[in-house]
Each structure stands twice: as C-alpha cells, then as structure tokens.
Amino acid sequence: MALKNGGIVILDYGSQTAQLIARRVRELGVFAALIPYDASAAEAQAAAPALRGVILSGGPAGTYEPDAPPLPDWVLASGLPVLGICYGMQLLTQRFGGQVAAATQREYGMATVSVRATSELFAGLDAEQAVWMSHGDRLEHPPDGFAVIASTSNAPYAAIAHQERRLFGVQFHPEVQHTAHGRAILRNFVIGVCGAASGWTPESFIAASIESIRAQVGGGRVLLGMSGGVDSSVAGELIHRAVGEQLVPVFVNHGMLRLGEADAVIGLGKQLGWRNMIAVDATEEFLGALRGVSEPEAKRQIIGRTFAEVFEREASRLGALDWLAQGTIYPDVIESADTGRPGARRIKSHHNVGGLPDRLKGRLVEPLRDLFKDEVRQVGARLGIPDEIVWRQPFPGPGLGVRCVGEVTWERLEILRAADHLFTDELRQAGLLREGTAQAFAVLLPVRSVGVMGDQRTYDEVIVLRAVTTTDFMTADWARLAPDLLARVSSRIVNEVRGVNRVLYDITSKPPATIEWE
Ligand code: XMP
C-alpha cells in the first residue's frame, strides 16, 4: 500500500515500551512497523516499504551477555539513519568499540539530562530536560566516531551521535509520556533526520484501505464475524464501504452478552445499512454445552468450540463465500509473531472470533492489521460509527461466561447482567466509563452469604465490582473510585437486583491478579 511507503521500522528487543515507540511515530503521521530484532533486510522492507530509518528498541538483556540479541548487519550496511534507545544504544556502542557495563546503581525513574553539544536530535529543545530512565547497564566509554550530546548525573553518556553516519543513541526512553520532550526528539529523528513521509492519517488510511479491499476481494462475498466491538464494527464498515452488499456479517449471540447488547449490535448493523447481516441466537446451545461445568479453562474451551461450530454451520448455510473478514489489529499481529519474547507467555486461552471455516483458511480480509487500537477508534469515528461503539471498553470473547464464576446458568447471568448494568450506568453518569477506568464490570461469585433485609434473614449471591486503569492491559491497577460512588452502586445493586445481598470491590492490581476473574 503506497500509504505505508517512506516509514520507519522498529527492531523489537523485548522492551515493554517497544509498541509505544511505534505508536509515537504513527502520531507524527509516519508509518511505523514493529518487527522482531532478527528480521532480515527484506522483511524490514516488506513491513515498511521504501524505508527511511531504523529505531532499535530497549530490551531486558545486557549486550555483554553471551546470548544477547545482536544488531543485524543489514542495519548499518543499509546506510539508513538509526536511533538506538537504551539497549539499542548499547548495541551501537558495542559495535563501534565502546564499552557497556552493569552500572553500580540501577537508574529507574526521572532524571534530568543536560544537552552538551548541538545535534539534530535535540534541535530546538531545552538544554535541560526531564527524561525517563530505566536501565541497569550504562556506557563506560563512548564508541569511536560518536560525540556525547547529552548527559545526566548518573549517566555521563546519556545520548550520543555519529553525525556523519546519522547514528544516534539515547539511554533514556523518548517514547514514554514522562520524557518531557520525547515526542519532539522522535520527531527530530523521524522527520528531521530520516525525512520520513508524513501522510498517515485516518482519512488517508480509509481511502487506501477501501481501495485495497476492492483489489483483494474482487467480486467475492466476504463473511464477517460481527461481535459489536469496535474492531469488528470498523472492519465491517470499511468492507461495506468498499464492496457493499458483498459483505455478509454474522452475529452469534451466545447468551453471555451484557444487558441490551444483542439488540444494540443488530441495531448497529441496521444503522450502517448492512443489508445482509444475519443474527443467530444460539443461547440455548451454549448454555446447554456449559451445563455443570465450572472450571475456567474448560468453560473457555467449550465456548470457543461451540462458537466455531455455530459460526461454521451458519457459514455453510450461506452458500458460496470467498473471504473471511476479521478485526485483527496490530497488537494481535505483533503478539502472535513474537511468542518467543520474554513476557509474551499466554496466561489464559483467549477466544476471539474463533472457528475459521476450513475452506476460508488463508482467505482472510483483515483491514485493521496495521492499526493500533487508538487508530482504529479514530478511523471508526471518521466512518460515522457511534461513540458508544467507538469508545467501548474491551469485552472478552467468552463474555459474561468468564465473569459468572462457577457454573453459568441463565438465572445467574440475569443477576450478573442487572448488576453490571447498574455499575456501568453509574460510572457513565460520573464520566468514568470513557476516561477514568479502562475496564469496569461486575463479577458474580459462586458463594452465598448471610444478610438481613427488613426483618428477614437472607442467604444470597455476592457481586464483585472490578474497575481498572491501564493503557496496555498487560499490567493494570485497580481504579481508586470514590467511596460515595461505590456506596451508591452497592446500595442500588442490593436494592434493585433480586438475589444479591452483598457487594465487594476488588482492590487487586495485575499482576498478581488478572483483570478478568477467569
Ligand atoms: P486478563 O484477564 O488476562 O485480561 O488480565 C486482559 C484483557 O484481555 C481481555 N480478555 C479477552 N479478550 N478474548 C478477548 O477478546 C478473551 O478470551 C479474553 N479474555 C480476557 C480482558 O477483558 C482484558 O481486557
């Protein structure tokens, strides 16, 4: 896609913030791809055609360790400008005869760098800047041909530059928000030094995407698994704009959706004019398959398998279909490509659209493969998808099935739905659903507790409220919701939801807990 031409690749050495580097570059309107550190030159060119520069991410290894991930030869041989961040800077240092060693003091947190020499990297920026450091190793001796362009009290060589070869290194992390001029430093590198093309906007993406969907699918029919989440809605609408009635969206209601959600998904299809949308209510089939099962992984697997069966059955009923559309987004692509990365271990078996009909394997249409979530939202807004969908919090594929701890029955789901609705409704009114919480929901526990209501003893269900703040969902903190808000939610749930007499608030972060309970 011409739109991707003239961008940047980021070699991923395993830093938690590697994805953030790509997002920051995208915010400059420049295409950026995150690729494994051992990708070949050809793979790099394929990921970002007409490449203009390379960024080396940070990572947990030490360059002096025997198995340390190396700098591929093509990077320097290409003559492209390079910016090494943290571990990336240490790789450059080592390659040019400098020395890296474990620092006596780990440096973690804020530091002030002083700019020591003129360089394109700090052009137009303050001489003293707050930066975010996170490293255990440091440069003992700068590499040959490099000038020291900034230092801190603990890291005398905090930034280096080889002006002639346009190679730069920074010990701190320009991609994180705490680095005051981080964006400007990245702009100086990406636009100033690399001269990368700036044209990656939601509008240009939509135009290019419509064109490429048309070229890919021709006159074929496209099956879409529609969940009502932002990704499948945006993918569907792009395809609909590209090939109209060739789009066949299938929405499987597994009965574990939130209050009013199934109607909302069907309503959205109508609003967007998706004439061929098919809605299947498979609630009984799912609940039948889940009867008597309470082990979390078993529940997940049954839900995934049943989904695949229902989806496949509906697809075969529809006759000839040529393509399968999915709302895969860039973080999914990165995650599935780098299972060897430290920290990329699967804790739970995730279930998304699931069940590729066999004959459509390899016939995938994935219009959002290159986008981060925030970009998907921007594209969705430009496509006229309503705010409630565009800003919807993530909802797991198995739905309330993993929030109904223990056995999933219709009665328990109804209690959970009602409580969840009251909680999220209060948060919405307080303006905390779009900002303030990244995910907020109710969980139903498989225990009962004793209470008293009026003069009656009760022995009823327990609801847990879960609300977290996070940006990447890999780690999360519990949201510090106001006690008055929690009090209101608690009393509404106990008064309005029959069968519940106790409400708890989950004050565990991730790790050690996960966001969902199962
Ligand atoms: P955990 O519970 O692992 O969740 O901390 C992290 C994020 O992933 C969501 N999640 C899922 N999303 N299919 C999905 O599409 C799933 O099976 C699934 N399980 C968890 C969870 O809601 C949170 O946003």
For residue range 7-30, list pLDDT tens digits in order: 999 999 999 889 999 999 999 999
- Inform me whether the pLDDT recorded for 353 exceeds 60: no
pLDDT at residue 2, as a whole number: 65
DSSP state of 256: -
What is the bridge-based pairing of β-strands 439-453 and 456-469? Answer: antiparallel
CA–CA dist 445, 454 (Å, integer): 24
User: Could you give the dihedral angle defined by the CA atoms of residues 136, 141, 146 and 152, in that order, rounded to the nearest 10 degrees?
Assistant: 50
The pLDDT of residue 343: 41
237 catalytically annotated: no
Burial, 423: exposed, middle or buried (Cβ in 10 Å; 0-12, 13-18, 19+)? buried
Q: How far apart are CA 171 and CA 85, in angstroms?
A: 6
pLDDT band at 382 (very low <50, low <70, confident <90, very high): very high
Closest to 169 in 3D by CA, of 157, 160, 178: 160
pLDDT at 344 over 60: no
* 232 close to 224: Cβ distance less than 8 angstroms: yes
CA dist list (Å): 343 to 16, 24, 372:
9, 22, 20
Cα–Cα nearest to 441, from 479, 407, 410: 479
Contact 416, 403 (CB under 8 A): yes
Q: Which is more confidently placed, 147 or 108?
A: 147
**Residue 392 DSSP code:** P
pTM above 0.75, yes or no: yes
96 in Cβ contact with 145 (< 8 Å):
yes
Ligand 1 atom nearest to 398, measured from its CA: 17
> How far apart (Å, rounded) are the C-alpha atoms in residues 111 and 131?
5
Q: For 264-271, which contacts have Cβ atoms below 8 Å and span 24 or more sequence positions?
A: 264/228, 264/388, 265/226, 265/227, 265/228, 268/228, 268/233, 268/385, 268/386, 268/389, 269/226, 271/386
Ligand 1 geometric centre to CA of 69 (Å): 30
Confirm whether 173 is a catalytic residue. yes
Q: What are the φ and ψ backbone dihedral angles of 277, each rounded to 5 degrees?
A: -65, 140
Estimate to the nearest angstrom the gap between the alpha carbon of 501 and the chain centroid.
Answer: 36
pLDDT greater than 50 at residue 1: no
CA distance 376 to 330: 10
Rounded Cα distance between 504 and 490, Å, is: 8
Residue whose Cα lies nearest atom 9 of ligand 1: it is 396
Lowest average pLDDT, out of 307-311, 385-389, 463-467, 469-473, goes to 469-473
Directed axis angle between helix 410-429 and helix 483-496, to 10°? Answer: 140
The position carrying tokens 């496209």 is: 222
The residue whose two tokens read 């992984």 is 297
Report the distance separating Cα 73 and Cα 86, nearest Å.
19
Across 310-358, where does the E strand assignment appear? 323-325
Atom of ligand 1 nearest to the CA of 229: 15
pLDDT confidence of residue 25: 96
If we measure between CA atoms, which residue out of 145, 59, 137 comes closest to residue 100?
Answer: 137
As a whole number of angstroms, the distance between CA 128 and CA 469 comes to 32
Nearest-angstrom CA–CA distance, 272 and 260: 18
From 107, 135, 175, 285, the catalytic residue: 175
Query: Would you say residue 351 has pLDDT above 60?
Result: no
Residue-wise pLDDT tens digits, 187-205: 999 999 999 988 889 999 9
Point out the ligand 1 atom lying closest to the alpha carbon of residue 348. Answer: 3
DSSP structure string for 166-189? TEEEESS-TTSTTSTTHHHHHHII
Contact call for residues 440 and 449 (beta carbons, < 8 A): no
What is the atom index within ligand 1 of the atom nearest the CA of 397? Answer: 13
Ligand 1, atom 24, residue with closest C-alpha:
394
**Alpha-carbon span 164 to 144, nearest angstrom:** 12
**Residue 109 φ then ψ, to 5°:** 120, -155
468 CA distance to ligand 1 middle (Å) = 13
Do 281 and 250 meet the contact criterion of CB atoms below 8 Å apart?
A: no
| Mean pLDDT calculated for residue range 347-361 | 56
Q: Residue 102's pLDDT band (boundaries 50, 70, 90)? A: confident
Task: Kindly tell me if the per-residue pLDDT of 337 is higher than 70.
Answer: no
- Nearest to residue 171, comparing CAs of 54, 63, 89? 89
pLDDT exceeds 90 at position 134: no
For residue 389, report the distance from its CA to the centre of ligand 1, in Å: 18
| CA dihedral angle for residue 488, residue 491, residue 497, residue 503, rounded to 10 degrees | 100
| Residue with CA closest to ligand 1 atom 12 | 396
Quote the ligand 1 centre to 396 CA distance (angstroms).
5
At 472-500, the pLDDT tens digits run 788 899 999 999 999 999 999 999 999 99
Strand arrangement, sheet containing 323-325: 278-281, 247-253, 222-225, 323-325, 364-365
Quick check: is 175 catalytic?
yes
Rounded to the nearest whole angstrom, what is the distance from the C-alpha of residue 516 to the centroid of ligand 1?
Answer: 7
Phi, psi of 443 (to 5 degrees): -130, 140
Positive or negative CA dihedral for 291, 296, 302, 303? positive
